[in-house]
Structure 1
Amino acid sequence: MNIIRTKTPSETQKNNLLHLQEACRKHDHISLTFPLEEDCTFYLLYDEDNLLSALCAFFNENGEYETCAYTLPSNRQNGYFTMLLDELLKETADNDLVFPVDETCEDTVHTLNALGADFWYQEHLMELSASGFIETGLAKSNPLWDSPALSMAYNPNEEHSPWTFLMDGSPIGSCYLDFRGETAYFYGFVIAENLRNQGLGSACLFLLLKTCFSLSGHKRLKKLFLQVSGENVPAIALYKKAGFQITESLSYYLY
């Protein structure tokens, strides 16, 4: 057995990681992937040329190491994950490790419970298609949606675009869109605290969606994605009302 630590996997190692990832995803029926786009440290456990297990971690903005690991299904319960975790722990000092987990993967949940990791919170991935939004017909139930005093300032030509909601020309809220071809990731939605519970959140969300699905040219969207904490019940209810559907739920464990 040989453990390789690297921040810059070779092309062969990347291919090995993808093969390992797909073998586990197929076996466990999950969609999680290695965060190859992040500045990760990888720990690769090889038996000669065969990658049996891999763990990667990156230091996030909250001061935690977000961690992802896979072991070939036929090589589980051999202590390989523990070997790689021990290598990571030599470098993390007192920082917490965060494990995103699909609860349907029993092997992963069992391993984290045996490790003594604590359940932290759940997060949902939601999506909305242009047709799904049109079919909701929500525009009839909130008079603020047609208010001429409500408007937005944005630049859809920016890949990471900030959008500002205005009432009579004054900012009342904001959000961000990360454009990815015909889809976009929606995040950072907030209404000024002193203006909440007045229907403005619904009105601003509707205005945003109506605008997104009617953009011209290559910026016209077919689908919008967002992530929301399972603890944020009002936000989930709002997004469902707008037509968003939960497509995946992840649990986060802290170690």
Structure 2
Amino acid sequence: MGLTIEKTVRSDHMDVLKNIVSICCQNDSKKYSFFYEEDDSYLFGHPGFFYFSDDSNNILGFICLSGIDMQNFDVCGFVLPAYRNNGIFSQLLTAVKEEYKNINLSFPLPAHCKNAAEVLRKNNFRYSDTECKMSLNLKNLIIYPSEFDIDITESGKGAQQCAFFKDDFFVGSCSITLINDSYCILSEVEIIKKYRGLGLGAHLINCLLGYLDEINIDKIILHVTKSNIPAFRLYQSMGFVVDSSLDYYCLNL
């Protein structure tokens, strides 16, 4: 067995990688995400995919990177269950560290992946934060009248920008992505700086829930980091529950 670094990903290789992810999901009884495509195969002059292959060129494990910009990269990696605990993951990480210099790596990892977390720590990655996926079902939810007014602007297909006002003063905003007729994702929820700490977050969320209920949205999804304690507690108080979470491990090269 040996390490093979590919600088160009063939379409058949991409199918193999996705199949490895599928096998890992079935073996671990977990649902993992893999959003990387062939466009990520070459990043700013460096390979985006690192394979570990056996002598017959069968891919046993891989790591891939996705460039947020020239300085910051997300990392994703999988090893076939039958070949785990053989140092493959560590060798792949070593290859990445030898190839890339003066960049920041961020590796999102499901909390149950204890062995992978240990390997990351041994390779000098440090825990950074936990991102939680939270959801709220609007069916049968009591929504109280809001003190805020809301202004909606269409910003693209299935995308809306919301501006919130209190007594005609702009106090906050958020983005809505409509996935289908009854399901949406919230992002960039924010009270502007001078109005923070005044308890207005609950009013903003309540106003938003009222609008979403009016357009027949049943389920809402959002993501928040646990380090953002005020926001995390606010969403919990409004009825949002944690569906899943990812621990982020970071390394500065």
TM-score normalised by structure 1 residue count: 0.83
Alignment: residue pair count: 241
Partner residue, 1:87: 95
Which structure shows the bigger proportion of residues in strand conformation? 2
Segments of structure 2 that go 5 or more residues without pairing to the other structure are 41-47
Instruction: Using the TM superposition, give the Cα deviation of residue 222 of structure 1 relative to its aligned residue in structure 2, in angstroms.
Output: 3.0
Aligned-partner SS, 1:112 = helix
Determine whether 1:5 maps to 2:6: yes
Instruction: Give the match for residue 28 of structure 2.
Output: 28
- Partners of 1:6 and 1:42 within 8 A in 2: yes
1:167 matched residue in structure 2: 166
Report whether the alignment pairs 1:45 with 2:46.
Answer: no
Q: Shift in Å at residue 225 of structure 1?
A: 1.0
Matched, 1:185 2:185: yes
Which of 120, 127, 134 pairs up with 2:128?
120
Residues 185-210 of structure 1 deviation map (CA, whole Å, 9 limit, x = unaligned): 21111112222233321111111122
| TM-fit CA distance, 1:213 | 2.9
Q: Are 1:54 and 2:62 counterparts? A: yes
Moved more, 75-84 or 172-181: 75-84
Kindly indicate whether the alpha-carbon contact (under 8 Å) linking 2:136 and 2:241 is maintained by their aligned counterparts in 1.
Answer: yes
Identical residues among aligned pairs (%): 24
Q: Which has the higher helix share?
A: 1
Q: 1:77 to 1:56 in 2, by over 3 A?
A: same
CA shift in 2, pair 1:82/1:247, >3 Å? same
Structure 1 outlier segments of 4+, above 4 Å: none
Shift of 1:122: 1.2
| 1:28/1:105 contact within 8 Å kept | no
Distance change in 2, residues 1:162/1:151 (3 Å): closer
Q: Which moved more, 1:168-177 or 1:55-64?
A: 55-64
| Alpha-carbon distance between aligned partners in 2 of 1:46 and 1:226, rounded to the nearest angstrom | 38
Aligned letter for 1:153? I
**Counterpart position of 2:224:** 228
1:4 Cα deviation from its structure 2 partner: 4.2
SS in structure 1 at match of 2:96? helix
Identify the residue that residue 15 of structure 1 maps to in structure 2: 15
Query: Structure 1 stretch 201-210 or stretch 152-161: which is displaced more?
Result: 152-161
Q: Partner amino acid for 1:50?
A: N
Cα distance, 1:235 vs. partner? Answer: 1.1
Q: Distance in 2 between matches of 1:246 and 1:36?
A: 25
Distance 1:110 1:123, change over 3 A: same
1:142 is matched with none
Change (3 A) 1:78 1:146: closer
Structure 2 counterpart SS, 1:146: coil
Pairwise CA distance, 1:103: 1.8
CA distance in structure 2 between the aligned counterparts of 1:210 and 1:37, rounded to whole angstroms: 38
d(CA) in 2 for partners of 1:164, 1:63 = 32
The root-mean-square deviation of aligned C-alpha atoms, in Å, is: 2.4
What is the rounded CA distance, in whole Å, between the counterparts of 1:6 and 1:243 in structure 2? 47
Stretch moving more, 53-62 or 200-209: 53-62
Distance 1:237 1:21 in 2: 34
Structure 1, unmatched stretches of 5+, are: 140-144
Distance 1:123 1:241, change over 3 A: same
Name the CA distance, whole Å, in 1 between partners of 2:241 and 2:39: 31
